[in-house]
Structure 1
Amino acid sequence: MTTIEERLLEHKQSLNIVQAPSELEARLRNALEHVPNKKRNVNRAMIWVVSLAAGLLLVVGTYQYPAFAYYGNKLFNKIELTSLSFSEVAEQGYGQTVNKSTTLDDGTVISINGVIADDNALSLYYTVDRQAGSVFDENGSMRYSVDKIQGFLTDSMLRSGGGNHSKDETHFEGVDKFDPVSPFARTLTVTFSVWLDNGKRAFYPIQFKYEANKAMKNIIKEDISKSVPVDQGTVHYDSITASPTSTIVRGHYEMDYEGFPRFMGKTNLYVNGSEVKSWGSRGLAEKGMGFELEFDVFPTDKIENVELVLENFPGYQKVEEPISLASPSDLSFKIGNEKVWIRSVIKTDTGYDIVIARNQFTLLETDNLSIQAGDSVVPVSTISVSRPWDLKNGNIMWEQTYSFNTMEEPKWLLLDGFNYIKTYDKTISIPVNNKK
């Protein structure tokens, strides 16, 4: 990989790809036209030199583009950016005012009031006004939705959204959050869709001039590059991006098995010792074994310390000894930090049914699950679906029936191990270089 490519990859989150200024294209074309026709290897060398120069101009020149104005200062005001009134947000100096609208065939007016953008997301503030004398029906607001936002190097899908009706139910104010848009987009097209009475959808695009230097605000971006070892692999925390709209932690898994973990576990974020509200997580299959954790905005601009705590994550407990089936009737066995209940061992016409209960997210390995009956090891033949077992003390376990085809009474349950939610409570301190 060349040095230029490495430099561009470092800016992948904000650049995606760089568009050269029009005058640079002309200069490069003129330079190439005047390259002498020498040996082929010389031509390649000359092209490489010109490309390198262009790359340097691109990397350095991008910082003159207004989209990067939000990198300048270290401002981090705590305001409620999820407020449904864009005017209140604009008063705090956030966002770009748009004020573009379209009128639907039935007279309904959809207006884009403004947008706020950063490296984490784009928040779209919009209103829906019904025509005079008409109100939203019970599902009225669900008839109107935003499909996507498109523009130069931009095809952003909806992540989440919400809104409120006015008291007379003729006016709806909404905020929808989308994947981040390219800071190099000059115009954006927002496509609204409406469900018609005939069951079909009509689409209404609204295009507006996008001013990245107004829509975007500064962010805190830090590499974390720290990891936590877990029972069957490692959880890597790669970076944190804290913006006026949200805080995103990105990382990846390196597991001893293929695929994502069955559960993503729980990671908490603390700023100055205070927990930041979590908004969920998602796996990033397109980035290998990547994941993304979303949190609320930082609660303060006076940052003293930032910490991530891996509270829990899938664990694996190996079962070294066979489990006795001699005295069932809700007998529990503690294996590691977990309990398994042998609820019953019942003889049937075809063999024996064993009812085993466990915590909801404790999953027995069944590939080699078997019983010792006499001198024989008998594998499980069928396993029922899970069903709840209410302990009447506020706890609910989950039980399943395991059937074995043998006429001999089983003495031991043979189990390789089980997966469960394990408590780790491992803390990672994040160095934040832009403290105030």
Structure 2
Amino acid sequence: MQTIEEKLQEHKQSLNVVQAPSDLEGRLRKALEDVPAKKKNINRAMTWVASTAAVLLLIIGTYQYPAFAYYGSKLLDKTDLYSLSFSEVADQGYGQTVNKSKTLDDGTVITINGVIADDNALLMYYTIDRPEGSVFTDSGSFRYQTDKIQGFLTDSYSKGGGGNNSKDETHIERIDKFDPVSPFSRTLTVTFIEWLDNGERASYPISFNFEANKAMNSIIKEEISKSVPVDEGTVHYDSITASPTSTIVKGHYEMDEEGYPRFSGNTKLYVNGTEMKSWRMQSDNTKKGILGFELEFDVLPTDKIKTIELVLEDFPGYQKVEEPISLASPSDQSIKIGNEKVWIRSVTKTDTGYDIVIARKQFTFLETGNLSVQAGDIVVPVSSISSSRPWDLKNGNILWEQTYSFNTMEEPEHLLLDGFDYIKTYDKTISIPIDQKK
């Protein structure tokens, strides 16, 4: 397999080749369909002709989209990308310099220094400077924020960011992250928001030329199409896109019961046997009716990539309880059921019946629909359940306990429980094939 540097050199040779993305037809079709209809047929026809001509000019006359339009001696890791100023990033040959400013009514200057874009995200580096003799207040850094970036086939929302204030509180440097933008956008407009003292907000759009040939495309883009069966459904891993800003794994759930699982579990990414840092996990609702998810990891290493593996370390599981649980000797000792444990801490007589204190791990949840006790010849359902409260074991572990009340004057002998949900260890590995031709 080629190193990233070899990939860059190979793609450099194809820079002058016009290469449209595979989904271009659908995206252009959608853009044309979004053109508002006119009342007169002649206007509709002229609109279609003009739009079609514009598309042809875009493809044939003005736009060249390289397969990988970025060269550099080495890739920065994600920590570098988010901690360096754009001038430091640009010194190493990264991104597109913008240097576009807007002066607000009070003299504050917002400057877009540059952007880095790829298939996973757009990073925008910008500064905010107060006028001479003025400083940011304590909430000054929260006064300004970005909303979204718009352009041709682009409507990308901010996904957060961060930055630092200068010691004299007159200058802020920020890096904000956005959804990926279309490489066919020639002009991008980012909207800045200022929260005014009266509680209202002001909007300041700043437009700049976007040069896709200075952006960065993907290093690896592979379909995975593999799945892992879990107790109550299936976890599907659909694709992986590795770019110079991050590595994104997309997938979806097919669960026995409607809706997302209670917890997302933990998926780890290993490259050449080394675990990659995980940054976030979020739901992905871009496809209607699909319970999608998106995992973000650190950038891939620049040395030769031999193996890429995903490991579903844990995920919600279900443990069926086959036998009644004895209440004869309550204590702080655990009762093992399957691979999980519960604790029957106490059985106490009350004025209305009996209270049973049951402890469990934080993400273990007893199924309470049919929870009951056997008291003599009768089965008594639970009448009330308290809120969870911590039980500190004083050894670094904290369990959670609840009081379950039962209206019976006869001392209960067994707890009848259908089952419980818990975080189950799966440790299932999926190997991702790597196209050796890339």
Relative to the length of structure 2, the TM-score reads 0.84
Deviations along 1:377-418, one digit per CA (max 9) or x if unpaired, are 111111111110001111100001111111111111001111
Are the counterparts in 2 of residues 302 and 435 from structure 1 also a CA contact under 8 Å?
A: no
Q: Which moved more, 1:265-274 or 1:215-224?
A: 215-224
Q: State the secondary structure of the residue aligned to 1:226.
A: strand
Q: State the secondary structure of the residue aligned to 1:142.
A: helix
Q: Which moved more, 1:86-95 or 1:354-363?
A: 86-95
Are the counterparts in 1 of residues 218 and 241 from structure 2 also a CA contact under 8 Å?
A: no
Which residue of 2 is the match for residue 41 of structure 1? none
Which residue of 1 is the match for residue 402 of structure 2? 400
Which residue of 2 is the match for residue 332 of structure 1? 334
Give aligned pairs, total. 393
Are the counterparts in 1 of residues 69 and 214 from structure 2 also a CA contact under 8 Å?
A: no
Shift of the alpha carbon at 1:429? 1.1
Match among 362, 370, 373 for residue 372 of structure 2: 370
Which residue of 2 is the match for residue 255 of structure 1? 255
Q: State the secondary structure of the residue aligned to 2:28.
A: coil
Are the counterparts in 1 of residues 277 and 297 from structure 2 also a CA contact under 8 Å?
A: yes
Which residue of 1 is the match for residue 40 of structure 2? none
Match among 60, 65, 69 for residue 66 of structure 2: 69
Aligned pairs for 1:218-233 (under 5 A) are 218-233=218-233
Are the counterparts in 1 of residues 68 and 216 from structure 2 also a CA contact under 8 Å?
A: no
Which residue of 1 is the match for residue 17 of structure 2? none
Deviations along 1:86-128, one digit per CA (max 9) or x if unpaired, are 1222233321111111111111100111111111111111000
Match among 303, 316, 319 for residue 318 of structure 2: 316
Aligned pairs for 1:249-398 (under 5 A) are 249-287=249-287, 288-398=290-400
Shift of the alpha carbon at 1:310? 0.9
Are the counterparts in 1 of residues 250 and 293 from structure 2 also a CA contact under 8 Å?
A: yes
- What amino acid is the match of 2:253? Y
Which residue of 1 is the match for residue 136 of structure 2? 136
Which residue of 2 is the match for residue 6 of structure 1? none
Deviations along 1:279-301, one digit per CA (max 9) or x if unpaired, are 11011234311110001111224
- What amino acid is the match of 2:224? I
Distance of aligned partners of 1:75 and 1:228 in 2 relative to their CA distance in 1, 3 Å threshold: farther
Are the counterparts in 2 of residues 77 and 244 from structure 1 also a CA contact under 8 Å?
A: no
Distance of aligned partners of 1:67 and 1:227 in 2 relative to their CA distance in 1, 3 Å threshold: farther
Distance of aligned partners of 1:71 and 1:426 in 2 relative to their CA distance in 1, 3 Å threshold: same
Q: Does 1:78 align with 2:63?
A: no
Q: State the secondary structure of the residue aligned to 1:366.
A: coil
Which residue of 1 is the match for residue 108 of structure 2? 108
Q: Using the alignment, how far apart are the partners of 1:170 and 1:73 within structure 2?
A: 34
Q: Using the alignment, how far apart are the partners of 1:128 and 1:342 within structure 2?
A: 59
Q: Provide structure 1 residue ranges, at least 5 long, that are not aligned to the other structure.
A: 1-9, 23-32, 34-53
Shift of the alpha carbon at 1:11? 3.9
Q: Using the alignment, how far apart are the partners of 2:69 and 2:436 within structure 1?
A: 12
Distance of aligned partners of 1:73 and 1:190 in 2 relative to their CA distance in 1, 3 Å threshold: closer
Shift of the alpha carbon at 1:72? 6.7
Shift of the alpha carbon at 1:350? 1.5
Which residue of 2 is the match for residue 419 of structure 1? 421
Q: Using the alignment, how far apart are the partners of 1:325 and 1:417 within structure 2?
A: 17
- What amino acid is the match of 1:17? R
Distance of aligned partners of 1:151 and 1:100 in 2 relative to their CA distance in 1, 3 Å threshold: same
Aligned pairs for 1:87-126 (under 5 A) are 87-126=87-126
Q: Which moved more, 1:214-223 or 1:143-152?
A: 214-223
Q: State the secondary structure of the residue aligned to 1:401.
A: strand
Which residue of 1 is the match for residue 5 of structure 2? none
The percent identity for this pair of structures is 72
Q: State the secondary structure of the residue aligned to 1:381.
A: strand
Deviations along 1:323-356, one digit per CA (max 9) or x if unpaired, are 0011113242101111100111111121111110
Distance of aligned partners of 1:70 and 1:167 in 2 relative to their CA distance in 1, 3 Å threshold: farther
Which residue of 2 is the match for residue 51 of structure 1? none
Deviations along 1:145-186, one digit per CA (max 9) or x if unpaired, are 111111222221111200112222211111000111122222
Q: Does 1:18 align with 2:28?
A: yes
Distance of aligned partners of 1:275 and 1:16 in 2 relative to their CA distance in 1, 3 Å threshold: farther
Distance of aligned partners of 1:72 and 1:200 in 2 relative to their CA distance in 1, 3 Å threshold: closer
Q: Provide structure 2 residue ranges, at least 5 long, that are not aligned to the other structure.
A: 1-20, 33-44, 46-51
Are the counterparts in 2 of residues 67 and 183 from structure 1 also a CA contact under 8 Å?
A: no
Q: Which moved more, 1:67-76 or 1:360-369?
A: 67-76
Q: State the secondary structure of the residue aligned to 1:82.
A: helix
Q: Using the alignment, how far apart are the partners of 2:228 and 2:72 within structure 1?
A: 31
Q: Using the alignment, how far apart are the partners of 1:145 and 1:306 within structure 2?
A: 37
**C-alpha RMSD of the superposition:** 2.6
Aligned pairs for 1:87-236 (under 5 A) are 87-236=87-236
Q: State the secondary structure of the residue aligned to 2:75.
A: coil
Q: Using the alignment, how far apart are the partners of 1:358 and 1:188 within structure 2?
A: 53
Q: Using the alignment, how far apart are the partners of 1:15 and 1:308 within structure 2?
A: 33
Are the counterparts in 2 of residues 16 and 182 from structure 1 also a CA contact under 8 Å?
A: no
- What amino acid is the match of 1:389? W
Shift of the alpha carbon at 1:78? 2.2
